């Protein structure tokens, strides 16, 4: 993690990015820092400013432009705070913000302006709230990235959750297998693998090239530890807005035992408007996937609308192809 590139100049030199980029990028990075760890630098190697992998992490001048409909808290998450570090939007499951940090900074992140300082800290009140509410059967470890916690802290958190009888399932939402594959070490996976909560790992991969050899090995270790894996992706302009790319992503991840879960429409967070793909185009892309792939390799296209009892499914339509 310490080897991540956080300096725009260094990135410009490595990737031969033009001086015009650097002049625009630095003010954007002052708001939300550049952070790109070695595994993803490798995935983007040889690419320019428009490379689909690099584009996800590359600060740009257009982030500073105000765009109607794009705001700092598009999902109105602060309204769903049950206790410090505990968000609950949906019945039966609650999300623990266990870390404010991530191994990589994705420019389209819906939590890029999230006030982590108000949420992350002592987890005891959140654990008490979970224990006091028997309707919460599933806990989702999120952040930031929950695997930013070290093995000891994660182990203690698992102990605490396993001690609550009404908690039946645990989920980890993490980008770590792609960003810092080494983080999925055997001790951590063994601890997760023996949990009665049957941890489910939801990774976040948007482009097939992000599955480097090291990431593939990490996913194999995950599988060997008996942990199920799903993927959630975000549909992003210039990254994965082509049926070929999306189909290849599903195929590639299946080779590493990961099934597709959600394909999210972009949350309208300030600074990310350049990634937007209109809903009709998204529906056509997923219809195309449906026409080419077995059903289990087609993710569910969803949008998050604050206040609804679940993510909102968007019907893919029918491609009409024979
Ligand atoms: C997306 C989300 C979940 C998980 O929803 P599923 O449909 O179960 O994957 C849970 N809590 C919050 C706050 C979320 O944003
Ligand atoms: S890893 Fe997830 S939470 Fe972290 S910056 Fe990327 S999208 Fe946001």
| CB atoms inside a 10 Å sphere around CB 107 | 23
Distance 37 CA to ligand 1 centre (A): 27
- Residues 134-180 pLDDT 10s: 999 999 999 899 999 999 999 999 999 999 999 999 999 999 999 99
Q: Which atom of ligand 1 is nearest to the CA of 77?
A: 13
**Tokens standing for residue 154:** 């994660």
**Tokens standing for residue 185:** 């070490």
For residue 146, what pLDDT is reported? Answer: 97
Average the pLDDT over 259-282 and give the result.
97
pLDDT level of residue 91 (50, 70, 90 thresholds): very high
pLDDT at 322 over 70: no
Is 266 near ligand 2, meaning CB less than 6 Å away?
A: no
User: Residue with structure tokens 């491609």?
Assistant: 319
User: Which ligand sits nearest to residue 37's alpha carbon?
Assistant: 2
The mean of the pLDDT values for the chain is 95
d(CA 164, CA 131): 6
**Helix or strand or coil: residue 242?**
coil
pTM of this structure: 0.96
Q: Are 8 and 59 in contact (CB under 8 A)?
A: yes
pLDDT at 201 over 80: yes
d(CA 140, CA 200): 9
Average the pLDDT over 56-77 and give the result.
94
Is 89 near ligand 2, meaning CB less than 6 Å away?
A: no
pLDDT level of residue 321 (50, 70, 90 thresholds): low
Q: Which atom of ligand 2 is nearest to the CA of 143?
A: 3
pLDDT at 108 over 80: yes
For residue 77, what pLDDT is reported? Answer: 84
Percent of the chain with pLDDT strictly greater than 70: 99
Give residue limits of the domains in the chain. Answer: 8-64, 77-313
The fold of 77-313 is TIM Barrel (3.20.20)
Is 264 near ligand 2, meaning CB less than 6 Å away?
A: no
Q: Which atom of ligand 2 is nearest to the CA of 173?
A: 2
Is 287 near ligand 1, meaning CB less than 6 Å away?
A: no
Residue 36 parent element (H or E): none
Q: Is 190 exposed, middle or buried (0-12, 13-18, 19+ CB in 10 A)?
A: exposed
Q: Which atom of ligand 1 is nearest to the CA of 232?
A: 9
More confident residue, 77 or 262: 262
**Helix or strand or coil: residue 94?**
strand
The full DSSP string for 134-200 is TT--EEEEESS-GGGS-HHHHHHHHHHHHT-TT--EEEEEE-HHHH-GGGS-HHHHHHHHT-TT--E
Q: Which atom of ligand 2 is nearest to the CA of 179?
A: 1
Please state whether beta strands 300-303 and 258-264 pair in parallel, antiparallel, or not at all (unpaired).
parallel
Q: Is 246 exposed, middle or buried (0-12, 13-18, 19+ CB in 10 A)?
A: buried
Distances 272 to 9, 64, 101, 110, 237 between C-alpha atoms, Å: 22, 9, 19, 9, 10
pLDDT at 111 over 90: no
Average the pLDDT over 213-224 and give the result.
98
- Residues 26-55 pLDDT 10s: 999 999 999 999 999 999 999 999 999 999
pLDDT at 205 over 80: yes
Distance 268 CA to ligand 1 centre (A): 17
Best substitution site from 101, 109, 272 to test ligand 2's pocket, by max atoms within 8 Å of Cβ?
109
pLDDT level of residue 15 (50, 70, 90 thresholds): very high
User: Which ligand sits nearest to residue 76's alpha carbon?
Assistant: 1
Q: Is 48 exposed, middle or buried (0-12, 13-18, 19+ CB in 10 A)?
A: middle
- Atom 3 (ligand 2) nearest CA: 144
Distance 277 CA to ligand 2 centre (A): 19
Distance 207 CA to ligand 1 centre (A): 22
For residue 120, what pLDDT is reported? Answer: 77
């Amino acid at each position: 993690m310490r080897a991540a590139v956080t300096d725009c100049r260094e990135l410009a030199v490595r990737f031969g990015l033009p001086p015009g980029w650097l002049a625009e990028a630095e003010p954007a990075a002052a708001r939300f820092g550049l952070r790109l760890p070695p595994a993803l630098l490798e995935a983007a190697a040889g690419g320019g400013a428009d490379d689909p992998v690099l584009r996800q992490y590359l600060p740009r001048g257009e982030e500073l432009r105000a765009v109607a409909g794009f705001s700092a808290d598009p999902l109105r998450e602060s309204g769903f705070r049950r206790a410090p570090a505990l968000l609950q939007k949906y019945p039966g499951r609650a999300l623990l913000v266990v870390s404010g940090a991530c191994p990589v900074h994705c420019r389209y992140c819906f939590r890029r302006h999230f006030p982590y300082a108000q949420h992350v800290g002592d987890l005891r009140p959140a654990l008490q709230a979970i224990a006091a509410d028997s309707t919460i059967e599933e806990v989702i470890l999120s952040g930031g990235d929950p695997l930013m916690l070290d093995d000891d802290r994660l182990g203690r958190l698992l102990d605490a959750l396993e001690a609550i009888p009404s908690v039946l399932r645990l989920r980890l939402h993490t980008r770590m297998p792609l960003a810092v594959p080494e983080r999925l070490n055997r001790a951590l996976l063994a601890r997760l693998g023996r949990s009665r909560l049957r941890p489910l790992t939801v990774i976040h991969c948007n482009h097939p090239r992000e599955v480097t050899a090291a990431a593939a090995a990490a996913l194999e270790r995950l599988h060997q530890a008996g942990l199920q894996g799903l993927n959630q992706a975000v549909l992003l302009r210039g990254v994965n807005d082509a049926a070929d790319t999306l189909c290849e992503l599903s195929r590639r991840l299946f080779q590493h035992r990961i099934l597709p879960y959600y394909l999210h429409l972009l949350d309208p967070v300030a600074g990310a408007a350049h990634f937007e793909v209109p809903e009709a185009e998204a529906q056509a892309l997923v219809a195309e996937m449906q026409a080419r792939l077995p059903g289990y390799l087609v993710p569910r296209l969803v949008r998050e609308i604050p206040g609804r009892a679940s993510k909102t499914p968007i019907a893919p339509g029918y491609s009409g192809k024979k």
